[in-house]
Chains A and B, each alone.
Chain A
Amino acid sequence: MTTLTEIETPVEEATPGRPPARYGLLALTLAIVVGLVLGYLAGLLTPHLTRPGDDSPEAGFARDMSTHHAQAVEMGLIAYRASDNPKVRQIAIDIATNQQGEIGMMQAWLRRWKLDPTGAQPAMAWMPNGRDMVKDGLMPGMATPEEMDRLRQARGKDGDILFAEMMIKHHIGGIHMVDAILAHTDDEEVREAARRMKETQQTEINILRQLLDEVKAS
Protein backbone atom coordinates (compact mmCIF):
# COMPACT_ATOMS: atom_id res chain seq x y z
CA MET A 1 0.00 0.00 0.00
CA THR A 2 2.47 2.58 1.04
CA THR A 3 4.94 1.44 -1.59
CA LEU A 4 2.40 2.08 -4.36
CA THR A 5 1.63 5.65 -3.31
CA GLU A 6 5.29 6.42 -3.17
CA ILE A 7 5.81 5.14 -6.71
CA GLU A 8 2.93 7.16 -8.17
CA THR A 9 4.12 10.47 -6.85
CA PRO A 10 7.08 10.87 -9.23
CA VAL A 11 4.87 10.06 -12.20
CA GLU A 12 2.53 12.88 -11.35
CA GLU A 13 5.44 15.19 -10.98
CA ALA A 14 6.59 14.47 -14.54
CA THR A 15 3.22 15.25 -16.19
CA PRO A 16 3.06 19.07 -16.15
CA GLY A 17 6.20 19.44 -18.29
CA ARG A 18 4.82 17.37 -21.24
CA PRO A 19 2.88 19.32 -23.97
CA PRO A 20 4.30 22.73 -24.76
CA ALA A 21 1.43 25.18 -25.25
CA ARG A 22 2.50 26.36 -28.75
CA TYR A 23 2.07 22.87 -30.27
CA GLY A 24 -1.46 22.78 -28.91
CA LEU A 25 -2.26 26.07 -30.63
CA LEU A 26 -0.79 24.88 -33.91
CA ALA A 27 -2.78 21.62 -33.78
CA LEU A 28 -5.95 23.56 -33.01
CA THR A 29 -5.39 25.95 -35.94
CA LEU A 30 -4.67 23.04 -38.25
CA ALA A 31 -7.77 21.21 -37.09
CA ILE A 32 -9.93 24.29 -37.76
CA VAL A 33 -8.44 24.82 -41.24
CA VAL A 34 -8.81 21.14 -42.18
CA GLY A 35 -12.33 21.16 -40.77
CA LEU A 36 -13.28 24.23 -42.83
CA VAL A 37 -11.82 22.77 -46.02
CA LEU A 38 -13.61 19.43 -45.51
CA GLY A 39 -16.83 21.23 -44.69
CA TYR A 40 -16.54 23.40 -47.81
CA LEU A 41 -15.87 20.38 -50.04
CA ALA A 42 -18.74 18.47 -48.45
CA GLY A 43 -20.98 21.46 -49.08
CA LEU A 44 -19.89 21.55 -52.72
CA LEU A 45 -20.44 17.83 -53.20
CA THR A 46 -23.65 17.29 -51.26
CA PRO A 47 -26.06 18.64 -53.93
CA HIS A 48 -24.38 16.35 -56.46
CA LEU A 49 -24.44 13.30 -54.24
CA THR A 50 -28.01 13.79 -53.05
CA ARG A 51 -29.60 14.50 -56.44
CA PRO A 52 -31.35 11.51 -58.05
CA GLY A 53 -28.95 9.03 -59.65
CA ASP A 54 -29.09 7.32 -63.04
CA ASP A 55 -30.98 4.29 -61.67
CA SER A 56 -33.24 6.24 -59.29
CA PRO A 57 -37.05 6.01 -59.38
CA GLU A 58 -37.17 9.77 -60.05
CA ALA A 59 -34.98 9.48 -63.17
CA GLY A 60 -36.83 6.37 -64.33
CA PHE A 61 -40.16 8.14 -63.92
CA ALA A 62 -38.98 11.27 -65.78
CA ARG A 63 -37.73 9.17 -68.71
CA ASP A 64 -40.56 6.67 -68.94
CA MET A 65 -43.28 9.25 -68.41
CA SER A 66 -41.71 11.37 -71.19
CA THR A 67 -42.03 8.34 -73.48
CA HIS A 68 -45.56 7.63 -72.28
CA HIS A 69 -46.58 11.28 -72.72
CA ALA A 70 -45.02 11.43 -76.20
CA GLN A 71 -47.54 8.88 -77.43
CA ALA A 72 -50.45 10.80 -75.88
CA VAL A 73 -49.20 13.88 -77.76
CA GLU A 74 -49.15 11.85 -80.96
CA MET A 75 -52.71 10.58 -80.39
CA GLY A 76 -53.93 14.06 -79.47
CA LEU A 77 -52.42 15.66 -82.58
CA ILE A 78 -53.87 12.95 -84.84
CA ALA A 79 -57.36 13.54 -83.42
CA TYR A 80 -56.95 17.31 -83.56
CA ARG A 81 -56.13 17.11 -87.27
CA ALA A 82 -58.60 14.44 -88.28
CA SER A 83 -61.73 14.95 -86.18
CA ASP A 84 -64.62 17.19 -87.19
CA ASN A 85 -66.16 17.05 -83.70
CA PRO A 86 -65.29 20.34 -81.92
CA LYS A 87 -65.42 18.73 -78.47
CA VAL A 88 -63.02 15.99 -79.52
CA ARG A 89 -60.66 18.50 -81.11
CA GLN A 90 -60.79 20.65 -77.97
CA ILE A 91 -59.77 17.91 -75.54
CA ALA A 92 -57.29 16.48 -78.06
CA ILE A 93 -55.31 19.73 -78.37
CA ASP A 94 -55.54 20.28 -74.61
CA ILE A 95 -54.02 16.88 -73.88
CA ALA A 96 -51.36 17.24 -76.60
CA THR A 97 -50.07 20.65 -75.52
CA ASN A 98 -50.30 19.93 -71.80
CA GLN A 99 -48.41 16.65 -72.02
CA GLN A 100 -45.79 18.11 -74.37
CA GLY A 101 -45.23 20.84 -71.77
CA GLU A 102 -44.80 18.21 -69.08
CA ILE A 103 -42.26 16.40 -71.26
CA GLY A 104 -40.24 19.62 -71.32
CA MET A 105 -40.46 19.88 -67.53
CA MET A 106 -39.31 16.29 -66.98
CA GLN A 107 -36.48 16.67 -69.47
CA ALA A 108 -35.39 19.79 -67.58
CA TRP A 109 -35.28 17.76 -64.36
CA LEU A 110 -32.98 15.24 -66.01
CA ARG A 111 -30.68 18.01 -67.23
CA ARG A 112 -30.58 19.55 -63.76
CA TRP A 113 -29.77 16.13 -62.30
CA LYS A 114 -27.03 15.82 -64.97
CA LEU A 115 -28.61 12.66 -66.35
CA ASP A 116 -29.23 11.53 -69.92
CA PRO A 117 -32.75 11.32 -71.36
CA THR A 118 -31.84 7.66 -71.92
CA GLY A 119 -31.24 5.42 -68.91
CA ALA A 120 -28.92 2.44 -68.61
CA GLN A 121 -31.80 0.36 -67.21
CA PRO A 122 -34.70 -0.99 -69.28
CA ALA A 123 -38.05 0.80 -69.30
CA MET A 124 -40.01 0.60 -66.03
CA ALA A 125 -37.10 -1.00 -64.12
CA TRP A 126 -37.60 1.67 -61.42
CA MET A 127 -41.07 0.24 -60.60
CA PRO A 128 -41.50 -2.99 -58.58
CA ASN A 129 -42.33 -5.68 -61.17
CA GLY A 130 -42.22 -2.85 -63.69
CA ARG A 131 -40.27 -4.76 -66.30
CA ASP A 132 -43.00 -7.40 -66.49
CA MET A 133 -45.50 -4.70 -67.42
CA VAL A 134 -43.58 -3.79 -70.58
CA LYS A 135 -44.75 -5.68 -73.66
CA ASP A 136 -42.94 -5.15 -76.96
CA GLY A 137 -41.42 -2.00 -75.50
CA LEU A 138 -44.82 -0.61 -74.56
CA MET A 139 -45.58 0.62 -71.06
CA PRO A 140 -49.05 0.22 -69.45
CA GLY A 141 -51.79 1.87 -71.49
CA MET A 142 -49.64 2.49 -74.55
CA ALA A 143 -51.06 1.68 -77.97
CA THR A 144 -49.38 -0.78 -80.35
CA PRO A 145 -48.06 0.41 -83.73
CA GLU A 146 -51.08 -1.34 -85.33
CA GLU A 147 -53.50 0.57 -83.09
CA MET A 148 -51.74 3.83 -83.90
CA ASP A 149 -52.05 3.05 -87.62
CA ARG A 150 -55.76 2.40 -87.17
CA LEU A 151 -56.16 5.73 -85.36
CA ARG A 152 -54.30 7.54 -88.18
CA GLN A 153 -56.66 6.15 -90.75
CA ALA A 154 -59.95 6.28 -88.83
CA ARG A 155 -62.33 9.11 -89.70
CA GLY A 156 -65.58 10.57 -88.40
CA LYS A 157 -67.46 8.89 -85.58
CA ASP A 158 -65.21 5.80 -85.69
CA GLY A 159 -62.14 7.95 -85.30
CA ASP A 160 -63.62 9.89 -82.38
CA ILE A 161 -64.61 6.69 -80.57
CA LEU A 162 -61.23 5.11 -81.18
CA PHE A 163 -59.42 8.22 -79.95
CA ALA A 164 -61.49 8.44 -76.75
CA GLU A 165 -61.08 4.74 -75.98
CA MET A 166 -57.35 4.72 -76.65
CA MET A 167 -56.76 7.87 -74.60
CA ILE A 168 -58.78 6.58 -71.63
CA LYS A 169 -56.69 3.38 -71.65
CA HIS A 170 -53.51 5.45 -72.04
CA HIS A 171 -54.38 7.71 -69.08
CA ILE A 172 -55.24 4.73 -66.83
CA GLY A 173 -51.78 3.30 -67.54
CA GLY A 174 -50.22 6.70 -66.88
CA ILE A 175 -51.98 7.06 -63.52
CA HIS A 176 -50.64 3.62 -62.56
CA MET A 177 -47.09 4.91 -63.13
CA VAL A 178 -47.85 8.13 -61.25
CA ASP A 179 -49.03 6.10 -58.24
CA ALA A 180 -45.76 4.16 -58.33
CA ILE A 181 -43.57 7.27 -58.21
CA LEU A 182 -45.70 8.76 -55.42
CA ALA A 183 -44.96 5.59 -53.43
CA HIS A 184 -41.22 5.76 -54.11
CA THR A 185 -40.03 9.35 -53.90
CA ASP A 186 -39.96 12.11 -51.33
CA ASP A 187 -38.65 14.67 -53.84
CA GLU A 188 -41.24 17.39 -53.35
CA GLU A 189 -40.96 18.81 -56.87
CA VAL A 190 -41.48 15.38 -58.43
CA ARG A 191 -44.36 14.60 -56.06
CA GLU A 192 -46.09 17.89 -56.77
CA ALA A 193 -45.87 17.32 -60.54
CA ALA A 194 -47.00 13.70 -60.20
CA ARG A 195 -50.04 14.69 -58.13
CA ARG A 196 -50.94 17.31 -60.73
CA MET A 197 -50.63 14.76 -63.55
CA LYS A 198 -52.89 12.35 -61.70
CA GLU A 199 -55.59 14.95 -61.06
CA THR A 200 -55.49 16.23 -64.65
CA GLN A 201 -55.61 12.78 -66.20
CA GLN A 202 -58.42 11.64 -63.90
CA THR A 203 -60.49 14.68 -64.92
CA GLU A 204 -59.70 14.02 -68.59
CA ILE A 205 -60.81 10.40 -68.23
CA ASN A 206 -64.18 11.67 -66.92
CA ILE A 207 -64.51 14.12 -69.81
CA LEU A 208 -63.54 11.46 -72.37
CA ARG A 209 -66.01 8.94 -70.92
CA GLN A 210 -68.82 11.45 -71.19
CA LEU A 211 -67.69 12.36 -74.71
CA LEU A 212 -67.58 8.70 -75.66
CA ASP A 213 -71.20 8.25 -74.55
CA GLU A 214 -72.26 11.33 -76.53
CA VAL A 215 -70.47 10.25 -79.71
CA LYS A 216 -71.79 6.71 -79.48
CA ALA A 217 -75.33 7.99 -79.00
CA SER A 218 -75.09 10.42 -81.93
Chain B
Amino acid sequence: MSTSGANPSGGRRPGATKAKGKGRKPITPVKVNQGRAWGPIALFTAVGMLAVAIIGYGAYAVIQGTKSWEERADAIPGIINVRKLDPEHLQYERHQPGKIEYTKYLPPVGGTHNDAWQNCMGDVYDAPIANEHAVHSLEHGAVWITYRPDLPKDQVEKLAERVRGKEKMMMSPYEGLDAPISLQAWGYQLKVDNADDERIDEFIKALRVNASIEGPNALCSSGVTATGTTPQDNVAGHSELMPSSSSAAD
Protein backbone atom coordinates (compact mmCIF):
# COMPACT_ATOMS: atom_id res chain seq x y z
CA MET B 1 0.00 0.00 0.00
CA SER B 2 2.60 2.39 1.10
CA THR B 3 4.78 1.53 -1.87
CA SER B 4 1.93 1.83 -4.28
CA GLY B 5 0.83 5.15 -2.72
CA ALA B 6 4.35 6.58 -2.44
CA ASN B 7 5.47 5.50 -5.85
CA PRO B 8 2.94 7.29 -8.02
CA SER B 9 2.97 10.42 -5.91
CA GLY B 10 6.78 10.43 -5.62
CA GLY B 11 7.18 9.69 -9.33
CA ARG B 12 4.69 12.23 -10.69
CA ARG B 13 5.34 15.15 -8.52
CA PRO B 14 8.91 15.87 -9.37
CA GLY B 15 8.09 15.26 -12.97
CA ALA B 16 5.16 17.66 -12.91
CA THR B 17 7.02 20.45 -11.29
CA LYS B 18 9.96 20.02 -13.66
CA ALA B 19 7.67 20.12 -16.64
CA LYS B 20 6.09 23.32 -15.42
CA GLY B 21 9.41 25.01 -14.92
CA LYS B 22 10.79 23.93 -18.28
CA GLY B 23 7.54 24.54 -20.16
CA ARG B 24 7.18 28.23 -19.32
CA LYS B 25 10.71 29.40 -19.91
CA PRO B 26 11.24 28.29 -23.60
CA ILE B 27 8.29 30.37 -24.88
CA THR B 28 10.41 33.41 -25.63
CA PRO B 29 13.25 31.75 -27.66
CA VAL B 30 10.77 29.83 -29.84
CA LYS B 31 8.98 33.09 -30.83
CA VAL B 32 12.25 34.72 -31.90
CA ASN B 33 13.13 31.82 -34.17
CA GLN B 34 9.94 32.27 -36.20
CA GLY B 35 10.69 35.86 -37.34
CA ARG B 36 11.84 34.93 -40.90
CA ALA B 37 11.34 31.80 -42.98
CA TRP B 38 14.76 31.88 -44.64
CA GLY B 39 14.30 28.66 -46.57
CA PRO B 40 11.48 29.85 -48.85
CA ILE B 41 13.04 33.32 -49.19
CA ALA B 42 16.30 31.81 -50.43
CA LEU B 43 14.39 29.52 -52.78
CA PHE B 44 12.32 32.33 -54.28
CA THR B 45 15.38 34.56 -54.62
CA ALA B 46 17.29 31.81 -56.44
CA VAL B 47 14.39 31.04 -58.77
CA GLY B 48 13.82 34.75 -59.38
CA MET B 49 17.48 35.38 -60.20
CA LEU B 50 17.52 32.40 -62.53
CA ALA B 51 14.42 33.68 -64.34
CA VAL B 52 15.89 37.18 -64.66
CA ALA B 53 19.18 35.71 -65.94
CA ILE B 54 17.40 33.61 -68.57
CA ILE B 55 15.22 36.51 -69.73
CA GLY B 56 18.22 38.84 -69.65
CA TYR B 57 20.35 36.49 -71.71
CA GLY B 58 17.50 36.01 -74.17
CA ALA B 59 17.06 39.77 -74.52
CA TYR B 60 20.81 40.21 -75.03
CA ALA B 61 20.91 37.48 -77.66
CA VAL B 62 17.92 38.93 -79.47
CA ILE B 63 19.32 42.46 -79.46
CA GLN B 64 22.70 41.18 -80.69
CA GLY B 65 21.03 38.96 -83.27
CA THR B 66 18.85 41.73 -84.63
CA LYS B 67 21.67 44.17 -85.23
CA SER B 68 21.15 45.26 -88.82
CA TRP B 69 23.68 44.32 -91.47
CA GLU B 70 24.48 48.03 -91.83
CA GLU B 71 25.44 48.23 -88.15
CA ARG B 72 27.56 45.10 -88.43
CA ALA B 73 29.27 46.41 -91.57
CA ASP B 74 30.04 49.73 -89.88
CA ALA B 75 31.55 47.83 -86.94
CA ILE B 76 34.26 46.28 -89.16
CA PRO B 77 37.49 48.18 -88.45
CA GLY B 78 38.84 49.97 -91.51
CA ILE B 79 35.72 49.67 -93.67
CA ILE B 80 34.83 52.65 -95.86
CA ASN B 81 31.09 53.32 -96.01
CA VAL B 82 30.58 55.43 -99.14
CA ARG B 83 26.80 55.26 -98.66
CA LYS B 84 27.27 57.48 -95.59
CA LEU B 85 30.42 59.45 -96.48
CA ASP B 86 29.61 60.23 -100.08
CA PRO B 87 26.08 59.22 -101.09
CA GLU B 88 26.07 61.40 -104.24
CA HIS B 89 28.92 59.32 -105.59
CA LEU B 90 26.58 56.33 -105.85
CA GLN B 91 23.74 58.12 -107.60
CA TYR B 92 23.25 57.81 -111.33
CA GLU B 93 20.51 58.63 -113.82
CA ARG B 94 20.89 55.76 -116.28
CA HIS B 95 23.25 53.10 -117.55
CA GLN B 96 26.15 54.46 -119.56
CA PRO B 97 27.67 52.53 -122.47
CA GLY B 98 31.38 52.13 -123.14
CA LYS B 99 34.34 53.22 -121.07
CA ILE B 100 33.64 55.06 -117.79
CA GLU B 101 36.28 56.84 -115.72
CA TYR B 102 36.20 55.78 -112.08
CA THR B 103 38.67 57.87 -110.11
CA LYS B 104 37.47 58.50 -106.57
CA TYR B 105 37.49 54.97 -105.21
CA LEU B 106 39.60 52.28 -106.80
CA PRO B 107 38.48 49.63 -107.39
CA PRO B 108 35.12 51.36 -107.86
CA VAL B 109 32.31 50.74 -105.35
CA GLY B 110 29.29 52.16 -107.21
CA GLY B 111 27.95 54.79 -109.54
CA THR B 112 26.93 54.51 -113.16
CA HIS B 113 27.89 51.44 -115.17
CA ASN B 114 27.24 49.47 -118.35
CA ASP B 115 24.04 47.56 -119.19
CA ALA B 116 25.88 44.28 -118.85
CA TRP B 117 27.09 43.00 -115.50
CA GLN B 118 30.04 40.74 -114.91
CA ASN B 119 28.99 37.15 -114.23
CA CYS B 120 29.25 36.81 -110.43
CA MET B 121 28.32 33.15 -109.90
CA GLY B 122 31.37 32.41 -107.78
CA ASP B 123 33.53 33.24 -110.77
CA VAL B 124 37.27 33.29 -110.07
CA TYR B 125 38.72 35.37 -112.92
CA ASP B 126 42.43 34.92 -113.50
CA ALA B 127 42.81 38.25 -115.31
CA PRO B 128 41.50 41.79 -114.68
CA ILE B 129 37.86 42.50 -115.58
CA ALA B 130 36.06 45.67 -116.68
CA ASN B 131 35.06 48.10 -113.90
CA GLU B 132 31.99 49.02 -115.96
CA HIS B 133 30.58 45.48 -115.59
CA ALA B 134 31.90 44.82 -112.09
CA VAL B 135 30.11 47.86 -110.66
CA HIS B 136 26.85 46.52 -112.09
CA SER B 137 27.49 43.21 -110.29
CA LEU B 138 27.95 45.13 -107.03
CA GLU B 139 24.54 46.71 -107.61
CA HIS B 140 23.09 43.19 -107.83
CA GLY B 141 24.49 42.31 -104.39
CA ALA B 142 27.82 40.74 -105.31
CA VAL B 143 30.95 41.03 -103.22
CA TRP B 144 33.93 41.58 -105.52
CA ILE B 145 37.32 40.53 -104.17
CA THR B 146 40.28 42.14 -105.90
CA TYR B 147 43.96 41.53 -105.26
CA ARG B 148 47.26 42.94 -106.43
CA PRO B 149 48.66 40.75 -109.23
CA ASP B 150 51.79 40.09 -107.13
CA LEU B 151 49.82 38.53 -104.26
CA PRO B 152 51.41 35.14 -103.41
CA LYS B 153 49.60 32.12 -104.91
CA ASP B 154 48.66 30.59 -101.55
CA GLN B 155 47.02 33.87 -100.55
CA VAL B 156 45.12 33.98 -103.85
CA GLU B 157 43.96 30.42 -103.22
CA LYS B 158 42.64 31.34 -99.76
CA LEU B 159 40.60 34.11 -101.36
CA ALA B 160 39.37 31.80 -104.14
CA GLU B 161 38.10 29.30 -101.55
CA ARG B 162 35.69 31.97 -100.33
CA VAL B 163 34.39 32.55 -103.86
CA ARG B 164 34.18 29.26 -105.78
CA GLY B 165 30.71 27.86 -106.21
CA LYS B 166 29.04 30.73 -104.36
CA GLU B 167 26.69 33.04 -106.22
CA LYS B 168 26.98 36.77 -105.53
CA MET B 169 30.74 36.36 -105.24
CA MET B 170 33.48 37.05 -107.78
CA MET B 171 37.17 37.79 -107.73
CA SER B 172 39.83 39.14 -110.04
CA PRO B 173 43.35 40.59 -109.96
CA TYR B 174 43.47 44.39 -110.13
CA GLU B 175 46.35 46.37 -111.59
CA GLY B 176 47.67 49.28 -109.52
CA LEU B 177 45.83 48.35 -106.33
CA ASP B 178 47.17 50.31 -103.32
CA ALA B 179 46.74 47.35 -100.94
CA PRO B 180 47.38 43.62 -101.38
CA ILE B 181 43.63 42.86 -101.16
CA SER B 182 40.55 45.03 -101.55
CA LEU B 183 36.90 44.00 -101.09
CA GLN B 184 34.00 45.81 -102.70
CA ALA B 185 30.25 45.79 -102.21
CA TRP B 186 27.88 48.51 -103.45
CA GLY B 187 28.94 51.56 -101.39
CA TYR B 188 31.47 49.68 -99.26
CA GLN B 189 35.19 49.00 -99.45
CA LEU B 190 37.68 47.25 -97.20
CA LYS B 191 41.39 47.01 -97.84
CA VAL B 192 43.44 44.37 -96.04
CA ASP B 193 47.00 43.07 -96.23
CA ASN B 194 46.45 39.37 -95.72
CA ALA B 195 44.04 36.67 -96.90
CA ASP B 196 43.87 35.32 -93.33
CA ASP B 197 42.34 38.58 -92.07
CA GLU B 198 39.03 37.63 -90.47
CA ARG B 199 37.51 40.96 -91.49
CA ILE B 200 37.23 39.46 -94.98
CA ASP B 201 34.67 36.95 -93.72
CA GLU B 202 32.88 39.62 -91.68
CA PHE B 203 32.62 41.80 -94.78
CA ILE B 204 31.20 38.95 -96.87
CA LYS B 205 28.75 37.85 -94.16
CA ALA B 206 27.41 41.36 -93.61
CA LEU B 207 27.27 42.54 -97.22
CA ARG B 208 26.90 39.64 -99.68
CA VAL B 209 23.32 39.89 -101.06
CA ASN B 210 22.39 42.30 -98.24
CA ALA B 211 24.08 45.19 -100.06
CA SER B 212 22.04 44.52 -103.21
CA ILE B 213 20.21 47.57 -104.50
CA GLU B 214 17.75 45.35 -106.38
CA GLY B 215 17.11 42.79 -103.64
CA PRO B 216 18.06 39.14 -103.33
CA ASN B 217 16.56 38.13 -106.70
CA ALA B 218 18.92 40.24 -108.83
CA LEU B 219 20.81 37.97 -111.19
CA CYS B 220 24.50 37.18 -111.17
CA SER B 221 24.26 34.80 -114.11
CA SER B 222 23.65 35.92 -117.72
CA GLY B 223 26.53 38.33 -117.30
CA VAL B 224 29.80 38.88 -119.10
CA THR B 225 32.06 35.90 -118.48
CA ALA B 226 35.04 37.23 -120.43
CA THR B 227 38.00 38.92 -118.78
CA GLY B 228 39.68 42.09 -120.02
CA THR B 229 39.27 45.67 -118.86
CA THR B 230 37.57 46.87 -122.04
CA PRO B 231 33.81 46.90 -121.47
CA GLN B 232 31.66 45.01 -123.95
CA ASP B 233 28.07 44.72 -125.03
CA ASN B 234 26.24 41.77 -123.53
CA VAL B 235 22.69 42.88 -124.41
CA ALA B 236 20.34 40.02 -125.30
CA GLY B 237 23.08 37.47 -124.79
CA HIS B 238 25.12 38.69 -127.73
CA SER B 239 28.47 37.82 -126.23
CA GLU B 240 27.12 34.52 -124.87
CA LEU B 241 26.66 33.39 -128.46
CA MET B 242 30.36 33.87 -129.01
CA PRO B 243 33.26 32.01 -127.43
CA SER B 244 33.74 33.75 -124.09
CA SER B 245 37.37 34.68 -124.69
CA SER B 246 37.07 36.39 -128.07
CA SER B 247 34.72 39.28 -127.45
CA ALA B 248 36.89 41.87 -125.69
CA ALA B 249 38.29 43.32 -128.92
CA ASP B 250 36.45 46.51 -129.81
Prevailing SS type, chain A contact patch: helix
Chain A min CB distance to B47 (Å): 11
Q: A66 to chain B: which residues have CB within 8 Å? A: 167, 216
Q: Tell whether B30 is near chain A: CB-to-CB under 8 Å.
A: yes
- Residues of chain A within 8 A of B240, CB atoms compared: 78, 81-82, 152
Cα-based distance from A142 to B30 in the complex (angstroms): 82
CA distance A18 to B167 in the complex (A): 73
How far, in whole Å, are A145 and B124 apart by their CA atoms in the complex?
9
For A70, the chain B residues whose CB sits under 8 A away are 121, 167, 220-221
> Does B209 sit at the interface, judged by CB under 8 A?
yes
A3-B19, A136-B164 as given contacts; A118 in contact with B205, CB under 8 Å = yes
Residue among A42, A45, A67, A78 making CB contact with B167, cutoff 8 Å: A67
Contact across chains for B121 and A117 when beta carbons are under 8 A apart: no
Residues A31-86 near B (CB distance < 8 A): 34, 38, 41-42, 45, 48-49, 66-67, 70-71, 73-74, 77-78, 81-82
Q: Does A29 contact B (CB under 8 A)?
A: no
With A3-B19, A49-B62, A74-B221 in contact, do A118 and B165 touch (Cβ < 8 Å)? Answer: no
Enumerate chain B residues within 8 angstroms of A82, measured Cβ to Cβ.
Answer: 237, 240-241
The answer, among B23, B59, B65, B244, for a CB contact under 8 Å with A153, is B244
B94 within 8 A of A: no
The closest CB in chain A to the CB of B221 belongs to A74
Judge whether B42 is part of the interface by a CB distance below 8 angstroms. no
Whole-angstrom distance between the Cβ of A201 and the nearest chain B Cβ = 19
0 or 1 for each of B52-83: is its CB under 8 Å from A? (1 = yes): 00010011011001100100000000000000
> Which range contains the number of A residues in contact with the other chain?
35 or more
- Closest CB of chain B to A24's CB: distance in Å? 13
Q: Give the contacting residue for A3; candidates B15, B31, B121; CB below 8 A.
A: B15
At the interface, yes or no: A123 with Cβ under 8 Å from chain B?
yes
Which one of A7, A67, A116 lies within 8 Å of B165 (CB-CB)?
A: A67
Contact B65 A114 (CB under 8 A): yes
What's the minimum C-beta distance from A192 to chain B, rounded to whole angstroms?
21
A117-150 at interface with B (beta carbon < 8 Å): 117-120, 123, 134, 136-139, 142, 145, 148-149
Interface residues of B (CB under 8 A from A): 15, 18-20, 22-24, 26-27, 30-31, 34, 48, 51, 55, 58-59, 61-62, 65-66, 69, 121-124, 161, 163-168, 201, 204-206, 208-210, 216-217, 219-222, 225, 237, 240-241, 243-244
Knowing that A38-B51, A70-B221, A78-B240 touch, tell me 4 more A-B residue pairs with CB under 8 angstroms.
A48-B65, A137-B161, A142-B165, A152-B240
